[in-house]
Amino acid sequence: MADIEKFAGSADELPSDAPTLDPSPTSSKHIEDDAPSDVVIVDWERDDPGHPFNWPRARKYRMVVIACLITALTALNSTGMAIMTTWGTEWFNTSRVHFIAGLTLYNVASSIAPLLLAPLSEHFGRNGIYQVSSIINLLLFLPQVFTKNLSGFLATRWIQGMVASVGISMVGGTIADVFEARDRGQVMNLFALIIFIGQSLGGITMGWIGERLGYQWCWGNQAIWAAASCVVNALFLRETRANTLLTRRARRLTKETGIKHVARSDIERKQHSLLRQLRITAVRPLKLLVTEPIVSSLSLWIGLAWGSLFLGGPSTMLVFAQYGFSPGEKGSMGACIAIGGIIGYLTAFHQERLYRRSAAKSSTGRAPPEARLYWAAVGGLLFPAGMMGFAWTGRPHIPWPVPAAMLCISYWGIYCMYLGVFNYIADAYETYSSSAQAAQGFVRNMNSGIFPLFTLQMYERLGYPQASSLVAALGFAFAAAPFLLIRYGPRLRARSPVTSQLVGNL
């Protein structure tokens, strides 16, 4: 353990890194030998119906579906701004770059906030953070509907990006709260699909609403949907974090019996304060990003692809304007994201079959993390190939379905890359997977905020085909990453002070 302690902090200050690692219920409440005689330590009993792992399947999916609705609205909010530049620049009497800065601030805030919100959810539970952030998110739509002050508008976008980040960063933890690892794969696949569908709906809905009803109703409709989400959350969303539920049980037993009951998780948590958790959780992802070649290479790879996904909104507006498309029609090209995501979702079933086959061949019965990357490697080629096809078919004399099909192929590749990277990091870094995921999420969201800022200038100065070709060329250059990891990943993990120690503890 010494290497990890040196890397990430001393053992006594390491909080649980991932919400995915709550132990299964294993023991009943009991009195510890070293605990005061008048204190009862409460722990989970085996097959305890109160533990989220043992909830009825319908209840589990209810929690996940409600959380995924928050995800969809968060994704819609981020991508919808691209098409809204059609009216937003006139509303604020400003340039396209100044208006699209609202997207940049939203996504950059979404990349930073999880570093703080993750330990808060570990400490206080998830439901309260969902409820409060959803209400704040709703209230921030009101000034966006009415304000004509650009600075005030941008300030609301920054704050909204922070609170809305729970729709992406915390839902994976909710899934891990209620589904054990062996049942989690396809649920995470569904979560990834919801992200892509939400992103596709941003362009589709905002394009037609802005064209038919005007700029203000783009925000007004999102406010209505956010209000509906708040109502659903209040009525049906409940706490899923096992430690928080155990704490509540201990308090209830104390009140009922008059005898002090303390949750085991509270005793363990007292070993490190919330401020210490915040410090470690914020710093550790950056350490992994700088010192771990696996994390840094995968983060740069998926970061390029994710930035290109957000670059796709403004670029499709430029390219399909050549066909005389209206704003609603240009926004409808966001459907390519959903189509690519759906194909990727179906592809993931084959990836899961390959993974299980690899596990069956292993002497330990456990597949290496590299078995998660087979379709991600294919996706790494589909992404730039589709982008290159889009670059040279997006011309007025070529029917518009052809470049649209190329975009579908590119987004299919991005989906495979995203899911593969997520699952690979979860397997390779285990206890530290949340920090590694936060590192790649930080790079992804930063790129998704920065790329749209220079899209217009890049496409106008280089030309439409050349600009998309540049992105494709970068994609091809990074496409070697998953193939190299499949080949050399075990060697890299053996040299890593983090992953080698995890393997040694198996």
Q: Which domains does the chain have, with CATH numbers?
A: 10-48+243-269 (no CATH), 285-493 (1.20.1250.20)
- What percent of the chain has a predicted confidence (pLDDT) above 70? 89
Decide if pLDDT at 31 tops 60: no
Tell me the CB-side half-sphere exposure of residue 458, using CA atoms within 13 A: 19
What is the distance between the alpha carbons of residues 12 and 271, in angstroms, rounded to a whole number? Answer: 7
Query: What integer pLDDT is reported at residue 313 of this predicted model?
Result: 78
87, 138, 139, 227, 430 from 132: Cα distances, Å: 31, 10, 11, 12, 30
Could you tell me the pLDDT band of residue 436, with boundaries at 50, 70 and 90? confident
The tens digit of pLDDT for each residue in 448-484 reads: 989 888 888 898 889 989 999 999 999 999 899 899 9
Residue 153 near residue 193, CB atoms below 8 Å: no
Q: Residues 457, 458, 459, 461: what is their CA dihedral angle, to the nearest 10 degrees?
A: 80
Q: Is the dihedral of CA 455, 456, 457, 459 positive or negative?
A: positive
The tens digit of pLDDT for each residue in 226-236 reads: 999 999 999 99
Q: Are strands 260-263 and 39-42 parallel, antiparallel or unpaired?
A: parallel
Bigger pLDDT: 9 vs 406: 406
**What would the two tokens of residue 218 be?**
């783009």
What is the Cα 139 distance to its own chain's centre? Answer: 23
Of how many residues is the chain composed?
506
Start-to-end CA span in the chain (Å) = 13
> Which stretch of 7-11, 283-287, 325-329 has the lowest confidence by average pLDDT?
7-11
Decide if pLDDT at 221 tops 80: yes
Phi and psi at 39, nearest 5°, equal -120, 130
Question: What residues contact residue 314 under an 8 Å CB cut-off, 6+ apart?
Answer: 82, 85, 100, 452, 455, 456
Could you tell me the pLDDT band of residue 258, with boundaries at 50, 70 and 90? confident
Residue 7 near residue 429, CB atoms below 8 Å: no
CB atoms within 10 A of CB 253: 18
Give the residue-averaged pLDDT of 349-375.
89
**What would the two tokens of residue 403 be?**
């470049």
Give the residue-averaged pLDDT of 142-162.
96
Residue 295: its H or E element: helix 293-321
For tokens 């285990």, what's the residue? 430
Q: Is the dihedral of CA 301, 306, 312, 314 positive or negative?
A: negative
Query: What integer pLDDT is reported at residue 405 of this predicted model?
Result: 97
Give the residue-averaged pLDDT of 410-435.
86
Residue 45 per-residue DSSP state: P
What is the distance between the alpha carbons of residues 423 and 383, in angstroms, rounded to a whole number? Answer: 19
CB atoms within 10 A of CB 96: 17
Residue 374 near residue 443, CB atoms below 8 Å: no
Q: Is the dihedral of CA 317, 319, 323, 329 positive or negative?
A: negative
What is the distance between the alpha carbons of residues 398 and 390, in angstroms, rounded to a whole number? Answer: 11
What is the distance between the alpha carbons of residues 246 and 43, in angstroms, rounded to a whole number? Answer: 7
Decide if pLDDT at 241 tops 60: yes
Query: What integer pLDDT is reported at residue 53 of this predicted model?
Result: 93
Phi and psi at 401, nearest 5°, equal -60, -20
Residue 305 near residue 417, CB atoms below 8 Å: yes
Q: Quick one: which of 130, 125, 133, 189 has its CA closest to 159?
A: 133
Bigger pLDDT: 14 vs 272: 272
Q: What is the pTM of this model?
A: 0.86
Buried b (16+ CB within 10 A) or exposed e, 383-414: bbbbbbbbbbbbeeeeebeebbbbbbbbbbbb
CB atoms within 10 A of CB 200: 27
3-state class (DSSP) for residue 212: helix
Q: Residues 283, 286, 290, 292: what is their CA dihedral angle, to the nearest 10 degrees?
A: 90
Task: State the amino acid at position 415 in one-letter form.
Answer: Y
For the chain, give the mean pLDDT.
86
